[in-house]
Structure 1
Amino acid sequence: MKRAGFIQDLPIPPQGRLPFPLLVARQIANPIAAWGTDFFEQPSIFYRWLGIETAFIMDPDLIQAVLLADSDRYSKQSLYDDVLGDAIGGGLLSAEGEDWRWQRRLAAPLFRAEEMLNFTLAFGRACAAPLRRWGEARPGAE
């Protein structure tokens, strides 16, 4: 299976904040290209749309707090239940509490530094073509 076509273009962040429906639509194709400059400058970004508040946590320390240290204080369930439903299943992405901790412990050995080194050749091959295209692209060209 050829995988070189996943990243098509150099991600250029939109200026300012996109309306939430457009943000979600763009995230389907390329999440990073959907993020405005505020995503790279602020520790957290909040959207409120149709009565649902969504937080994008960008700061590494805050990510650690949300996912590990204080995970019991944060819930993603309403988003997954109301918006994504059964489409994403009960895996690590949507699990919470003890179920999430159990899945995380199960997956953790795959993400140890020594294990990740085994994937560097595959990562490098997957990134070679997009990086070459980005290097040849003119700044600001679309």
Structure 2
Amino acid sequence: MTHEQISKEISLSRPAVHDRIRRLESAGVIRGYSAQVDWDALGLSLCAFLFVRVTGNCVPIAQKIWTLGTEDAMVQECHRIAGDWCLLLQTRSASTAAHLRLHDEIRAIPGVQNTMNVIALAEVLPDESRVPVPADFPATLATRRN
């Protein structure tokens, strides 16, 4: 959204919106900007979640997983998690066959012990960040750091 659109949405002047966004960027709260991707248009409409259990340190394995992928299958996100599994991956693929190839590449990495796939049937809520920002930011940020 433009600063003008945001200002109308929240009933705040455009300069005030600009100033708040600048402060969020300066404080590191906003680290960057990204595109909203139409995965269907890219031919990667299959979304899957892949739980991975590893032996040993999961960080080098996660780094290796991150390098995998082709034009028809990729790892979109990789999270280190607690519980029975070590990593949670969100993948995008052109088909179940493409996902299976990516899955088999991951399984072939030394140290990968086990995996579990969950195929997403549909996106229920849009892929948009929802971050509550207090009206008195950055004063509240300073309070939380102390």
TM-score, with structure 1 as normaliser: 0.25
Largest Rg, 1 or 2:
2
Select the structure that is richer in strand: 2
TM-score, with structure 2 as normaliser: 0.24
